Amino acid sequence: MPKITMLGAGSGFAPRLVTDIAHIEGLAQSEIRLVDIDPKRLKIIAPLCRKIMDLCGREKWGLTATTDRREVLAGSDYLINFIEVSGVKTVRLDNDIPEKYGVTQCIGDTIGPGGIMKALRTIPSWLEILGDAERLCPKALVLNYTNPMSMMTLAAVRASRLPVVGLCHSVQGTSEHLARWLKVPYQDFRWRCAGINHMAWFTELTYRGKDQYPRLHRICQAPEVYEQDPIRIETMWATGYFVTESSGHFSEYVPYFRKRRDLIRKYCRPHYRGESGFYARDWPKWRRDVDAHRRRQLAGKAELSLRRSHEFASNIIEAVEKNQPTVIHGSVLNAGLIPNLPAEGVVEVPVMIDRSGLNPIRFGPLPEVVGALCRSNMAVYELTVQAILEKDAEKVYHAVLLDPNTASVCSPAETRRMTDELLKAERRYVLPWTQSRLGKGRTVAKSVGRPAGKK
């Protein structure tokens, strides 16, 4: 009987994943354990998950809900993480302070100033969770959904002995998206994809043995197609390969599309297609709306979907419990899986799952043009995780300094001021060591290589 603990259960993932797990055929018994530090959200999500389980014919499955993870970690076989640390309280700061310096973000939760600040808030709690898990459920398989995905996974593989995989839906979502554009049956569509989370690349697209990239290039020239995903299409035309993440997210990972207002007007579109400040404005409202919708679902006044989704968590549990090998795409330690990316970094590659757990599959080198783009992001991830593990505030600045979007508009001195301002503004939400060296870089800069009286 697998015991499955979900951390941050008040998020949008829990009902979907409970539904998915309830669809695993042959899983006669299971126990779902929900953890959230917000008791109000827990009081909504627990009865909703119970209702889902009952409607799926899992009335005998156990369900526990608690605000104290230590009550339920013991004996857990799977930990599924989707915690959010101070997000609603800081999302405007993550967006608005960089915007003063010309750094615009659409989402701002995986890289750039927003993603780095989110890592500083989230990873310390994440490492505490993993520390508890090592003591209380040392054989558990850990599945992480929380962004910044690459940094969360990198910190885990550096600091924990537990097997950890980072899970997203961009690979399966984009492959389905491309099959629709190409009008080919998904079950017959063949592709290879790897890179890093939110920047994995479809290096091959074939149908019945024929390369589909020439067709895709032609299809994307149609305005009605182009307008759906301008930045990803422009990137494909530039590099030759289609990337896994949305235009809005991807615009933040490269220096090409957000550095001037005219470029934002030309390439960015509303919402997830690149709108500046989109997440900061809409996310707090989404959270309120989700809670209200869940109350309506509990009352039978809103539809409750019982379809299995394409999220990978239930596929992993099914493969392990039934020793039924399957392949997912996940974020894991590279260790040579993609030879032209840093071996000690985290990459997103095919992973075979069976009773033995995680078995990453060697992908081989990426085309150098997209490999270089991945490496530019991996440098930011490396420095951020080093900063957190070593409690080194200067490396926070170095991480922001190397961020491609920030570097496209800010000088080193401007980046320093922006980083200092973010750390000061969010000092209630990050650990004290982040405040230790604020402003020291400016003091040095004023005394070296600059004539007196000049600015």
In tens, the pLDDT along 108-148 reads 999 999 999 999 999 999 999 999 999 999 999 999 999 99
What single DSSP character describes residue 426?
T
Cα gap 101→180, rounded to integer Å:
40
Which amino acid type is present at position 237? Answer: W
Q: Is residue 442 part of a domain?
A: no
Q: Is residue 26 part of a domain?
A: yes
pLDDT at 453: 35
pLDDT at 439: 67
The residues pairing with 350 across neighbouring beta strands, listed in sequence order, are 329
- Known catalytic residue at 169: yes
* 323 CB-near residues (< 8 Å, 6+ apart): 354, 355
Rounded to a whole number of angstroms, the CA Rg of the chain reads 22
What are 202-224's pLDDT values in tens digits? 999 999 999 999 999 999 999 99
Average confidence (pLDDT) over 318-324: 97
Roughly what angle, to the nearest 10 degrees, separates helices 412-425 and 87-100? 150
Residue appearing with tokens 């297609």: 273
Cα gap 339→332, rounded to integer Å:
14
pLDDT of 446 above 60:
no
The residues pairing with 81 across neighbouring beta strands, listed in sequence order, are 7, 144
Other CB atoms within 10 Å distance of the CB of residue 26: 8
Confidence band for 315, pLDDT divided at 50, 70 and 90: very high
Lowest-confidence range among 2-11, 84-93, 175-184, 233-242? 84-93
Q: Is residue 122 part of a domain?
A: yes
Q: How many domains are contained in the chain? A: 1
User: Which stretches does DSSP call E strand in 198-290?
Assistant: 199-207, 210-211, 242-243
* 147 CB-near residues (< 8 Å, 6+ apart): 109, 110, 115, 118
* Catalytically annotated residue among 23, 169, 177, 217: 169
Half-sphere exposure of 441 (CA within 13 A, CB side): 20
Specify the pTM: 0.95
Backbone angles phi, psi at 214, to 5 degrees: -55, -40
Q: Is residue 183 part of a domain?
A: no
Instruction: For residue 28, give its domain range.
Output: 3-88+110-168+287-318
Cα gap 372→370, rounded to integer Å:
5
Question: Within its chain, how far is the Cα of 92 from the centroid?
Answer: 19
Lowest-confidence range among 10-14, 51-55, 161-165, 226-230? 10-14
Average confidence (pLDDT) over 354-366: 98
> Please, is 191 exposed, middle or buried when counting C-beta atoms within 10 Å of its C-beta (0-12, 13-18, 19+)?
middle
Q: Is residue 443 part of a domain?
A: no
Other CB atoms within 10 Å distance of the CB of residue 81: 25
Q: Is residue 263 part of a domain?
A: no
| CATH of residue 312 | 3.40.50.720
Q: Is residue 257 part of a domain?
A: no
pLDDT at 153: 98
Return the closest-CA partner of residue 321 out of 99, 2, 84.
2
Q: Is residue 130 part of a domain?
A: yes
